[in-house]
Structure 1
Amino acid sequence: MARTADVVIIGGGIHGCSTALHLALRGLKPILIEKDYAGRHASGVNAGGVRQLARDLLEIPLSIASMELWERIEELVGDDCGFSSHGTVLIAESDEELAGFRERVDDLHLRGLTHEELIDRAELKRLVPAVSDYCPGGVVSRRDGAADPFRTTQAFRRRAVEEGAEIIEGVTVTGLTRVGSNWRVETSDGAFEAPKVVNAAGAWADRIAAMLGEPVPLTVVAPMLMVTSALAPFIEPVVILRGRKLSFKQRENGTVVIGGGHLATPYRDRNETVIDWNKLALSARTVWELFPAMHEATIVRAWAGIEAYMPDGVPVVGRSSTSEGIFHQFGFSTHGFQLGPATGAVMAELVATGSTNTPIDGLGIERFRP
């Protein structure tokens, strides 16, 4: 016999675990099914950036709502998740690049969005003293910060269980069909039935969507990260570049995490990635040129996580376009970690009430229909 629940969630990353928690807080009984373990892929191995800065306009409402939850994350999940708020700085490497940043910030301010602030060279040097002198300025989002991604995902998982959610790991979904008023989720460990299902399967979410007759052009990617030996403290904010790919932050133990978008080769059916050391060398050279303090650092370790990337770079959040009772929450395109707390709350609200007060217009899966 199939096991039953109010909602079945497919996928145990931060988004699936956040949704499980927020559904449980609403008094529902969700079952979450994860083929590996919570945080095994993108949610547990990303750079941990908690940023509102440089978001697509469609994501900004979710990002703002999520930042409010990050600022009381310990109250929500019983763990501070290693969250620190020293801001995120987007560095301009030329006057032309700074002019482009100015246009975006001016546009955001006209829309009533003030979280991004243009800064000149003096303020950039005050915030990031170690940056090279040739940089003319940038943009700062002062409430932003960083957290420990695996610790955060586990905290959401743990609190969800405490609130009544059931988390089942090491089980793969093999089928999804309608049975009367319920959806039947076939798995490697038997069947589960619920009137509502949330597809939060990350880089495997397109396969779930295909079972519903709504294929999506999801690309499987594997962003690479590396970490250095410990250095004396020299930087507090998270630093990102747009011209050359870079994300950069120093942790409390002195090590520096370097990322920024260079990709490994993913093999999602084998749960494996192959590092591209030549591309990592490009990131290392960028850091060398931008931060003289890094000249003495050595690389200790490099890794990559498997993620889902959408053609327009923004996630799929909302109802299925073909199937009543199905909801999608995937495709966060290498920048979904910060969105996890609020997207779970929004999804729980949508599942439980049929609507949400947080605008998610433009994020639906129907945008990919012919």
Structure 2
Amino acid sequence: MKQALIIGGGLHGLSTALHLARRGGWRVRVLERRHVGRHSSGVNAGGVRRLGRDLREVGLSVIAAEMWDNLPRIVGDDGGFRPFGQIKLAESDADIAKLEARQAATHARGWTHEEMIDRDEVLRLLPAVSGHVRGAMIVRGDGSANPMRTVMAFRRAAQEAGVEIIEGIAVNGIGTTGSGTLVVETDRGPMQADRVANCAGAWASGLAAGIGEHIPTNAKASMMIVTERLPFFCLPTVGSAARALSFKQSEVGTVVIGGGHQGANDIATETSSQNLMNLAKAARIAAEIFPIVAGARIIRSWTGIEARTPDEVPVIGESGVMPGLFHSFGYSGHGFQLCPAAGAAVAELMAQGSTNMPVAELSPARFQQKAAA
């Protein structure tokens, strides 16, 4: 039986482990320094969207959307997925033009999931939205899900497939034996494997650097706000074409507000903190677009650490320095929806060295090519 080690117990590590174990013939172990879902996987906004993605990752996102629709069959739970649509609002003529150009670009490539809607349709879907909104783009089958419920569903499914999850184990580096077997150095001693997946989130580029592979990322600490319960007024997840906004109302009436507003982080200590001025900015944008929340009390806020690449799309593919090592990180604040498909792609790469899934443009080689140029 072949041996595989997955570094990182977030959603991408768990998804990779699950899909690899289900292929058969593999002993799969997940190594997690804290506990599964500790960082970005468990504290993100829960957006399940194809809407507005970088064109390089749309193909993977379309596959992931089909998997979200079938998540109970894949992991035995729907993760709290609510497919009520994702909407990107246009607040000006310039926003309308921007969204129309975007729709033309995706339609030219054969993707028709993004749809322009006029002001009347926006008001039908979002009767509480501000009157200044001019129109929007929508993907009707997108939505949101519960991040930690999704993490736990992938964990259970992985364990049922035979994956061993080891928590509280720190990975210090990756190397090879004289015969080419991969060795993961941990605080419990070395562990050998035929294949290794680096799914270590904000810490993954450091592991790559340890073998001489430069994959640039920086850490980000996006913040979230939750309001008190309000009367129900919003089913879709809402963003803006021109402003940083992620807005959704939960099934219990609370409103979750984000949009990538940043706090501070320290990856050395694995801690992050909130920036009150940026939190206030997030709340102000939300209130300007949905006046109903202007007087709502904020009952909770948080932040978490995640990795962002310079081009803000993930790194998925085999190491250019160490054969048998595969990277899956740098999802830059929008990896939640991709996790079922990305895990399947990485597992296929690990098992057979190639995949038909559309991840070639996400390869770590793109950074080496830029460095050479």
TM-score (normalizing by structure 2): 0.97
The one-letter amino acid of 2:303's match is: A
Q: Is the aligned partner of 1:17 residue 2:14?
A: yes
In the alignment, is residue 209 of structure 1 matched against residue 208 of structure 2?
yes
Which of these residues, 63, 79, 82, is aligned with residue 81 of structure 1?
Answer: 79
Residue matched to 2:113: 115
Question: Residues 52 and 144 of structure 1 are in contact (CA less than 8 Å); yes or no, is this contact kept in structure 2?
Answer: yes
Query: What residue number does 2:95 align with?
Result: 97
Separation (CA, whole Å) in 1 of partners of 2:125 and 2:218: 36
Q: Deviations over 1:40-79 (max 9, x none)?
A: 0000000000000000011111101111110011111111
1:293 counterpart residue number: 292
Q: State yes or no: 1:8 paired with 2:5.
A: yes
Q: Which amino acid aligns with 2:271?
A: E
CA contact 1:32–1:167 (8 Å) conserved in 2: yes
State how far apart, in whole Å, the 2-side matches of 1:111 and 1:274 are: 41
DSSP 3-state at the match of 1:58: helix
Determine helix, strand or coil for the equivalent of 2:111: coil
Deviations 1:13-32 (A, max 9, x none): 10000001001110122111
- 8 and 77 in structure 1: CA distance in 2 versus 1, 3 angstrom threshold: same
How many pairs does the alignment contain? 367
Contact 1:5 1:31 in 2 (8 A): no
Deviation at 1:208, TM superposition (A): 1.1
Aligned partners of 1:274 and 1:215: how far apart in 2? 28
Q: What's 1:194 paired with?
A: 193
Separation (CA, whole Å) in 2 of partners of 1:104 and 1:117: 10
- Contact 2:317–2:328, Cα closer than 8 Å, also in 1: yes
2:332 aligns to what?
A: 333
| CA deviations over 1:274-319 (Å, ceiling 9, x no partner) | 1001011011111111112113311001100100000001000011
Q: Look up the match of 1:245.
A: 244
* CA distance, structure 2, for counterparts of residue 186 and residue 109 of structure 1: 47
Task: State the TM-score, normalized to the length of structure 1.
Answer: 0.97
1:306 aligns with 2:305: yes
What is the CA distance between 1:175 and its match in structure 2? 2.1
- 1:101 CA displacement: 0.5
| Paired residue secondary structure (2:294) | helix
> Is contact 1:17-1:157 (8 Å) kept?
yes
Q: How do residues 1-370 of structure 1 correspond to structure 2 at under 5 angstroms?
A: 6-27=3-24, 28-179=26-177, 180-369=179-368, 370=371
Distance in 2, matches of 1:242 and 1:192, equals 47
Query: Contact (CA 8 Å) 2:95, 2:241: kept in 1 or not?
Result: no
Structure 1 counterpart SS, 2:55: coil
What residue identity is the alignment partner of 1:192?
Answer: M
2:197 partner SS:
strand
Report the AA paired with residue 145 of structure 1.
G
Shift of 1:271: 1.6
- SS of the equivalent of 1:337 reads coil
CA offsets per residue over residues 57-113 of structure 1, 9 Å max, x none?
Answer: 111111011111100111111112111100000001101111111011012111111
Checking the alignment, whether the CA contact within 8 Å between 1:45 and 1:150 is kept in structure 2 is yes
* CA shift for structure 1 position 5: 5.8
Q: Helix, strand or coil for the counterpart of 2:360?
A: coil
Matched residues in 2 for 1:199 and 1:208: separation?
A: 8
Extract unaligned runs of 5+ from structure 2: none
Instruction: Give the drift of 1:361.
Output: 2.0
SS of the residue 2:110 aligns to:
coil
8 Å contact from structure 2 (residues 99, 241) kept in 1: no
Aligned mates of 1:290, 1:181 — CA distance in 2: 57
